[in-house]
Amino acid sequence: MSTMDIRIYGDSILRKLSKPVDSFDEQLMAVAEKMYEIMFEADGIGLAAPQVGVSKAFLVIGMPVEDEEPERLFFANPVILESRGEDSFEEGCLSVPDIRADVIRPEWIKLKYQDIHGKEHTLETDGLLARVLQHEIDHLNGILFVDRLTPARKSLLKNDLQKLAKKGAKSEADLA
Ligand code: CO
């Protein structure tokens, strides 16, 4: 397994369309385990494979649970089938450090996905889980939350994003 570090805005892997997961094997489990580790270490609640340099369509989530360890969730090849409503929520991203902004997204989604064994499921959800899932599924399609900001808001972040992009491109070169 190559080095798994969090890739930063400006790294081209974050802009790629990830490939479907087709083998649900020990390698996948090992990468997922490592991703939980990296995510909890960084205090994140969601992490998509491209963010650690793996261009495959899966993601992990650690849903906060009061007084307990976060609940570990895994989604491979997720597809949003339906969505409803609208909700604004402040988002951040481990690949876009130190930037937070309100993003408008549907508040309810229905999706299909495969679990770590490849078994298919459908899920209807709202609230924080729907929010995190949409953010992470965007990653699988090369989309970052800053792409979803209004042009005015995005232009305010332009300098910060340019600085990050330099860092991201550098980390990409170091890892290559
Ligand atoms: Co993110």
Task: Give pTM, 2 decimals.
Answer: 0.95
Q: How many Å lie between the centroid of ligand 1 and the Cα of residue 138? A: 8
Smallest Cα–Cα separation from 73: which of 126, 14, 129? 129
136 is catalytic: yes
Phi, psi at 167, each rounded to 5°:
-60, -45
**138-143 contacts at long range (C-beta below 8 A, 24 or more positions apart):** 139/14, 139/18, 139/48, 139/50, 139/51, 139/59, 139/95, 140/17, 140/18, 140/48, 140/49, 140/50, 140/57, 140/58, 140/59, 140/78, 141/17, 141/18, 142/14, 142/15, 142/16, 142/17, 142/18, 142/50
Q: How many Å lie between the centroid of ligand 1 and the Cα of residue 83? A: 20
User: Rounded distance, CA 13 to CA 11, Å?
Assistant: 6
Is 47 exposed, middle or buried, given 0-12, 13-18 or 19+ CB atoms closer than 10 A?
buried
Q: How many Å lie between the centroid of ligand 1 and the Cα of residue 94? A: 6
User: Taking residues 90-98, what's their average pLDDT?
Assistant: 96
pLDDT digits (tens, 9 = 90+) for 35-81: 999 999 999 999 999 999 999 999 999 999 999 999 999 999 999 99
Q: How many Å lie between the centroid of ligand 1 and the Cα of residue 82? A: 21
So where are the chain's domains?
12-175
Check residue 175 and give its pLDDT. 74
Which CATH architecture describes the domain 12-175? Alpha-Beta Complex (3.90)
- Catalytic residue of the set 68, 71, 136, 172: 136
